């Protein structure tokens, strides 16, 4: 009982200081945004999985519509820990729409209670009247299995822009958060991301993102 009480206090203070860090770091940034999404995933025969996600993003201190998108993805588990994925995303902005196709793979290596994950992805975005944008994205994550329901994590993502086959670092994203699992493998993810956009410019934009995502397993 004493150990459980101490552990609960540690979790409380850890959560408090993480929230304090998010609030403090949001000051002095170029913008603070919110990303809210809901997803549905369904296992298919032969190690395939189908997923749909709908997301809303707000900007200008999370007060103004930025974009919404619908994404369908089909993934295949090649072997334990390694999967490939083919997503398609349709994005709606205030005055335009974009379509994105991607192809990626990820590998997750676990040595309980810690897991290491690497995901690499190529994406191509289409916009009417514009040259398609090509990006290579590499994301590294460390996940800790706190108990059967809670998984805190930290991650770093590096996004490179294809400029005539000369890939330049265009954006970085550093995140931390946690995933809480509900019955029937439904899950809630809460996270904070610090983004540096347009790093090829002299003064890149620094943006903080507060995120909330709920996923249903069908």
How confident is the prediction along the chain (218 residues), in pLDDT tens digits per residue?
Answer: 444 544 454 455 455 455 555 655 556 788 889 999 999 999 999 999 999 999 999 999 888 999 999 999 999 999 999 999 999 999 999 999 999 999 999 999 999 899 999 999 999 999 999 999 999 999 999 999 988 899 999 999 999 988 666 778 899 999 999 999 988 889 999 999 999 987 777 778 899 999 999 999 98
What is this structure's pTM?
A: 0.86
> 135 with 161: CB under 8 angstroms?
yes
How many Å apart are CA 155 and CA 133, to the nearest integer?
24
- Per the DSSP assignment, residues forming a β-bridge with 42 are 50
Which ranges of the chain does DSSP label H, i.e. alpha helix?
A: 2-26
pLDDT given at position 45: 95
Domain interval for residue 138: 2-217
pLDDT given at position 198: 79
How many domains is the chain built from? Answer: 1
pLDDT given at position 15: 57
Show the beta-strand stretches assigned E in 44-149: 48-59, 64-79, 82-93, 97-111, 114-126, 133-144
How many Å apart are CA 141 and CA 22, to the nearest integer?
19
For residue 164, what are the contacts with CB-CB under 8 A and spacing of at least 6? none
Q: How far is CA 165 from CA 103, 136, 159, 169, in A?
A: 18, 11, 14, 13
Check which CATH number belongs to the domain holding 28 and give it.
2.40.160.40
For residue 145, what are the contacts with CB-CB under 8 A and spacing of at least 6? 112, 113, 114, 115, 151
Give the dihedral of Cα atoms 143, 78, 74, 125; nearest 10 deg. Answer: 80
User: What tokens were used for 57?
Assistant: 């993003």
> 125 with 100: CB under 8 angstroms?
yes
């Amino acid at each position: 009982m004493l150990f459980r009480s101490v552990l609960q206090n540690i979790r409380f203070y850890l959560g408090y200081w993480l929230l304090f860090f998010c609030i403090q770091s949001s000051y002095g940034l170029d913008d603070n945004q919110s990303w809210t999404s809901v997803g549905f995933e369904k296992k298919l025969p032969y190690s395939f999985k189908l997923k749909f996600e709908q997301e809303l993003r707000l900007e200008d201190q999370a007060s103004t519509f930025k974009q919404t998108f619908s994404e369908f993805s089909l993934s295949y588990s090649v072997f334990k820990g390694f999967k490939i994925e083919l997503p398609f995303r349709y994005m709606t902005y205030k005055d335009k729409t974009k379509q994105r196709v991607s192809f990626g793979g990820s590998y997750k290596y676990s040595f309980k209670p810690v897991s290491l994950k690497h995901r690499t992805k190529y994406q191509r975005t289409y916009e009417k009247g514009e040259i398609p944008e090509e990006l290579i994205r590499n994301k590294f994550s460390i996940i800790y299995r706190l108990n059967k329901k809670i998984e805190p994590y930290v991650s770093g993502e590096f996004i490179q822009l294809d400029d005539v086959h000369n890939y330049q670092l265009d954006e970085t994203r550093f995140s931390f958060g946690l995933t809480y699992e509900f019955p029937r493998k439904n899950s809630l993810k809460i996270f904070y991301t610090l983004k540096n956009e347009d790093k090829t410019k002299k003064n890149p934009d620094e943006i903080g993102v507060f995120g909330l995502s709920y996923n249903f397993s069908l």
